Each structure stands twice: as structure tokens, then as C-alpha cells.
Amino acid sequence: MDFTAPKGMRDFLPAEMQKRQWAMGRIGGVYQKFGFLPMETPALETVEVLEKKCGEEIRGQLFRVDDGRLALRFDLTVPLARVSSSSMFKKPFKRYCIAPVWRREEPQKGRLREFYQADADIIGCPSVRAEAELIACASEAIQELGFPAPVVRLNDRRIISAIASRLISGKEGEVLRIFDKREKIGDAACVEMLEGVGVKKEAAKKLLSELTGSSGNESRLKLAEIYSKEAAQDLKEILDLLPEYSKAIKVELDFSLVRGLDYYTGPIFELSLGKEMGSVAGGGRYDGLLSMYGQGDSAVGISLGIERLLALMKEREFEKQGVFVANAKEGFYGSALSVAAAFRKGGISALTDLNCRNLKKQVENAAGSCEWIAIVGEREMKAAKVTLRNLKTGKEELLSIEDAARKIMG
């Protein structure tokens, strides 16, 4: 019989789990500092609710529950949209959520069937101040995990849609789909595919060089104005606001950014850690989505690729647990428990020997999990003290419990 986790899913043993808890706690802390509040919804949603957002591909990836009416959520935006329509929030409403989602895909490297997302969204804010806030917040969360400041690629759906419709009318969707593949397939293949849907070769070539020309944000803003005055104005405002959050944020207007065939209606953005590490967060404005769930409203969101960030994070050396309180003789176990209780009262993690081993074995056992050992023996009990030994340096001292606690706390 097979006792591994189901296909495409993982068990997180303590060392990995400690790292995950640390990272999620950090990210949550940054979201909270920006005033985002936590919200949690069930793992299951009705298929009726899920299907409002999911495309054909994801529909096939739903983990449906026995009677077929329910399925595991495939993202965290659908639950947010549903709740936004069934509850009253003071606007703008800022929520974050770090939680698992499920997709019944063929598992492959870096793609699993259960994985966490870390989303922040702002509901009820028509101003692009919301976009700036989300980009700044995600950028800080990424740095909080020890990464350098990410580079922000910024575009607007109104611009690429205008570009596509000027290029060839009636086939905007197909053009966007080709744009979206550009980075993977290269410019030459992109031109070829554009020709395939009826775009003239010269026009396609000219456009691509125009889109990806490295001419700096100012001249790109001018180009943006040709396609959408409103979008250009919004992008300019985001560019102006971001340095106020942090000078470290680097933004590049990039009109070749598409971000899938998703539901975005305005500015879109991706945060990247350079060519090798790629995109680690992305999002945009999706003003149309909420109206599909009853109550329409402005909405902007960002999703942190937390699994990707965790995979890129160096192994963290987690502090070993505090102190192992050893009993020199079996009869002293009760006293060891009292000493451990005193340490815990002082906020220190304390272990005792559950398995009734001799002192030598206890010390060996402690060395694997603790930085300190406190020995309770005859001499110590008479003096109401413990022998505190640092397991790294081997140095030991006879100390009162209070002094030992102070030493352990550093």
C-alpha cells in the first residue's frame, strides 16, 4: 500500500513547514501594515459560482465533489467576488488571503494540484491609487522574504486592446493570444503567427519593434497616448506615486505584457526578480468581474506566487528549539518538568525527556533539536539551580532558573 500524499500534492514535514509558516507570517505582516484585513472562505464553492469566472481550461481542472454541485476553489478571486456580493463592506475594502487552491492538472515540475496563493485586493476604489498601493505592498512583501526589490513591468489592457484592434479589427482576441506568447516563442514566430491571422508582415514587424523598443518610460508614455489617453494618464499617475512608497521600486512600462487572457480591464502588472528567476507576482484591475456576482464594483488585485518564492528562498536555518531540561536520575523527572514550566513561563520553548532515557542519551537527543540543555541533578536540586550547558560551545554554568532563562533569551 502506498502511503505517500496523493498525486501532485505534498506533505510538509516540520523543517519545511517552519519555513512556510515563517514566510506566510512575514507576508501577512506586510499586508497588515498596509491596512489589508484577513478574510477566509470555504475550500469548496458551488460549481455555479466557480464557472462564472473559470475559462474552459480551468473548468476541466476542477476537483468536483461527489454530487457534482460543489468543487474545490481554483483561485482566491472567485470567493472574494462572491463574498463582495453577499456582504456589505466599507469601501475601499482591502483584504488579503493566503490559502490553498486546487487544480486537477497533470503535475509537472513546479506545478502541483494543491498550492497556496497569497492575494491582496482592493474593492471599491476607482482610482489607480489602488494599483500603486498593491504594487508597493507586494514589492515590500517580496523584499521581506530576503529577495532584492523586484522590477515592476506595467501595462494597461486598454492599450494592448487598442493596438490589437488597430492592427486588425475583429480578431483582437487572437492577436492578444499571440502577444501573450511572444516572450516564449520569440519575435520572429510572433510575426509569423500574426500573419497567420491576416496581419501584414510589415505592420506586425513595425509594431513589435515599437512595443519593445527600449526607449524609457517617458517616451513610452507618449506612445501610450496614441492608443489610449485614459490609460496613459493612469499609468503616469502610478509611475508618479510609486517612488513615494519607496525609492527602491523600479518600474518599466512594457506594452508587450498581456497577463493571460484574463478578466483585466485596466492597468496590469508583473513583478519579476530578473530574467532567471522570472515573475513572482502579478495582477491588475478587473472592474467587470464583480458585476458577474451580483454587485458590480471597482476591483484591483495582486497575487504573490508564494510557492515560487518559497522554492527560490534559500534554506533557512531555523533557530533550534530553546532548551532541553534533562533529569540526571529518573526520580528527578518531576523537577525537570517544573523547571521546564518555569522556562515556558518566560516564553522559552522547553523539552523534557519523555522516553525515560539515561542522562547520556538525553544529552545526545537534545543536541539534535536544542541549543541549550539544562541539567537537573542532586547538586542542582539542593541549590535550587540548574546546570546550563550551551550545546554548541560546550560551556556550562550552575545558574538559578531566572539567570538561565536570561542567558537563553540572549
Q: Give, as ranges, the residues between 187 and 226 that touch its own copies (CB under 8 A).
A: none
By the 10 Å C-beta count (0-12 exposed, 13-18 middle, 19+ buried), 283 is classed as buried
Q: What's the min distance (Å) between Cβ of 170 and its own copies?
A: 32
Task: Kindly tell me which residue out of 58, 111, 129, 139 binds its own copies, with binding defined by CB under 8 A.
Answer: 129
What residue type is 143 in one-letter code?
Answer: Q
Nearest partner of 371 among 343, 398, 397, 350, judged by Cα: 350
What SS3 state is found at 50? helix
Cα→Cα distances 398→21, 402, 406, Å: 36, 12, 13
Q: What's the min distance (Å) between Cβ of 379 and its own copies?
A: 20
C-alpha cell at 154: 506595467
Q: Which is nearer to its own copies, 145 or 257 (CB)?
A: 145
Binding flag, residue 108, its own copies (CB under 8 A): no
Q: Which is nearer to its own copies, 165 or 321 (CB)?
A: 321
Task: Kindly tell me which residue out of 74, 76, 102, 164 binds its own copies, with binding defined by CB under 8 A.
Answer: 102
Answer positive or negative: Cα dihedral of 194, 195, 196, 199. positive
Given the rule CB under 8 A, which of 92-100, 156-164, 250-258, 382-390 is the region that contacts its own copies? Answer: 92-100
Q: What's the min distance (Å) between Cβ of 147 and its own copies?
A: 18
Angle of helix 216-227 relative to helix 157-167, nearest 10 degrees?
Answer: 60
Footprint of its own copies on 43-72 (CB under 8 A): 43-46, 48-49, 63-66, 68, 70, 72
Q: What's the min distance (Å) between Cβ of 200 and its own copies?
A: 44
Letters for 255-294 (x = contact with its own copies by CB under 8 A, - = none) are: --------------------------------------xx
Distance, in Å, from the CA atom of 197 to the CA atom of 174, rounded to the nearest integer, reads: 8
Q: Which is nearer to its own copies, 330 or 397 (CB)?
A: 330
Q: Which is nearer to its own copies, 304 or 366 (CB)?
A: 366
Footprint of its own copies on 295-354 (CB under 8 A): 321, 333-335, 337-338, 341, 344, 347-354
Residue count (the chain): 410
Number of residues that bind its own copies (CB under 8 A): 91
Cα→Cα distances 134→51, 121, 122, 203, 231, Å: 27, 8, 8, 36, 18
DSSP code at position 105: P
**Beta-carbon contacts of residue 228 (< 8 Å; ≥ 6 apart):** 156, 158, 159, 162
Distance, in Å, from the CA atom of 98 to the CA atom of 111, rounded to the nearest integer, reads: 18
Binding flag, residue 362, its own copies (CB under 8 A): no
Given the rule CB under 8 A, which of 32-40, 165-173, 273-281, 387-395 is the region that contacts its own copies? Answer: 32-40
